[in-house]
Amino acid sequence: MGDYYIFGDASDGVTVSRLVRDFSINSREELDAHLMSHPEEMGRYIDLNLHYLPTASGPALGSLLPIIDAAAASSGIRPRISTISTLEADLFKTVNVVYVGFLSGLGPLQAPLFRASGFKIGANYDELIDKASGRHFKSDWGLVADGKVPQRDYGYLASLPGPAGNRIIIVAGTRDAAVAQMAEVSVDKQQLDTIDARSGGGAFEALFEVRTLGNLNLGSSLVLVRPIHADKIWQPDRAGE
């Protein structure tokens, strides 16, 4: 599950008056490093050991767990639910992983995924850009500031080989509606058959445009499916790339 670290803001140096989410600070260690670089904020920003999950996490788990449980039962393995912040990186080498959450919450999966993906992150995590064509796919959540109700999110599915022959599945989206919708797509055999046919049956990525009413998912349409460059996933970044 993609989760997020939040910390306290005690502007008077005593009482925490608000909680802060900063995308550049994703753990207490990173908060400590930030405070070392900004000593003037010592005493104001405080680690509270708090994380939160997007509201779509519950509905998404409701859709996925029966399938995951059934798949695991044949091997005698009980699935484990973990947050991305507590999952040991070494596990990505040995176990099958299903990530559920926002594109912004991928944590250690983000670098290998987008190294191999045909997309890159745009101005923020509400936008994906196709590397080949330059086409932008942007959620409507930027319109909230204008008092409008978002009507479009983007959902993303991917199936990747792990470094030791294991399998990593990504069920993600720009916002809550897209995550919930992708969980529903992930257990829909007809839609999975379509993806399988178009991708050639191997590692793939698929992008969906999701119709929304705010955080409510109303349905989706498949925008594109393509094989993913599995040979690049676990290669280290090289200078200039």
State yes or no: pLDDT of 230 exceeds 80.
no
**What is the distance, to the nearest Å, from the Cα of residue 97 to the centroid of all Cα atoms in its chain?**
13
The pLDDT score that the predictor gives to residue 238 is 54
Q: What is the rounded average pLDDT of the residues 209-223?
A: 90
14 pLDDT above the threshold of 90: no
pLDDT at 5 (0 to 100): 92
- Residue pLDDT, tens place only, 114-158: 988 999 999 889 999 999 999 999 998 877 666 677 789 999 999
pLDDT of res. 176: 93
Closest CA to 203 of 173, 236, 165: 165
- 8 Å CB contact between 152 and 141: no
Q: How confident is the model at residue 135, as a pLDDT?
A: 95
For the chain, give the percent of residues with pLDDT over 90: 56
Which tokens sit at 103? 């594109």
pLDDT of residue 75: 78
Amino acid letter, 105: G
Tell me: the pLDDT tens digits for 64-115?
Answer: 999 998 888 877 888 889 999 888 878 888 888 999 999 999 988 898 899 8
Residue 225: what pLDDT?
A: 96
Q: What is the mean pLDDT of residues 25-37?
A: 91
